[in-house]
Structure 1
């Protein structure tokens, strides 16, 4: 069975996520998020909480469970929604090879 791949039709769901990254998501956006959250772990972008509800850092997952995550030097956030948007953009790029327009 072929795995679903992101395409031009999914740009509307990307816009939906950028509008409201936290909270309820439509079924179409949920499908996109499931694809982004699935697959291989190695190198996947994630957020690490530095101070609960105040500061987050960008990191990449290691290739195996239990190994420490790799913080991306110099990238921290003080706005959780903007942090979520950035991770979404980066995962979109990793899966499609294209940049999401702001």
Structure 2
């Protein structure tokens, strides 16, 4: 219930499906104010347990990682991506599930 209220506050009357489509069309760069608020929220977490992307080969490969806290090595997760948009979409879906219990499909 609280998560839904927070989501409503972030998107301010915009249709969530439209914001998700906007993100899918352009995973990086400038977004609408409502989508940017949503992205900022799901990226704002304590370092311990935070999901992130690690570029393992410049412009070629990204890995999903879990941060383990300041000064501690990150944990490499199984997901490997060869396209930044695919990597950003994957982490967006995980964060939406984590913060708002919303399952997104490809």
Candidates 90, 96, 99, aligned match of 1:92: 96
Q: By percentage of residues, which structure has more helix?
A: 2
TM-score of the pair, normalised by structure 2: 0.81
Aligned residues: 99
**Which residue matches 1:24?**
30
Instruction: Note the 1:1-102 alignment, pairs <5 A.
Output: 5-7=6-8, 9-62=15-68, 64-73=69-78, 75-102=79-106
The answer to whether the Cα contact below 8 Å between 2:54 and 2:65 also exists between their aligned partners in 1 is yes
Give the gaps of 5 or more residues in structure 2. none
4+ residue stretches of structure 1 with deviation over 4 A?
none
1:28-77 superposed Cα distances (whole Å, 9 cap, x missing partner): 11100110111323222111111011111111111x2121111103x111
**Cα distance, 1:10 vs structure 2:** 3.1
**Cα distance, 1:23 vs structure 2:** 1.7
CA distance in 2 between counterparts of 1:48 and 1:90 reads: 16
Deviates more, 1:25-34 or 1:2-11: 2-11
Give the gaps of 5 or more residues in structure 1. none
**Cα distance, 1:100 vs structure 2:** 1.1
CA distance in 1 between counterparts of 2:50 and 2:41 reads: 12
RMSD across aligned C-alpha pairs, in angstroms?
A: 2.2
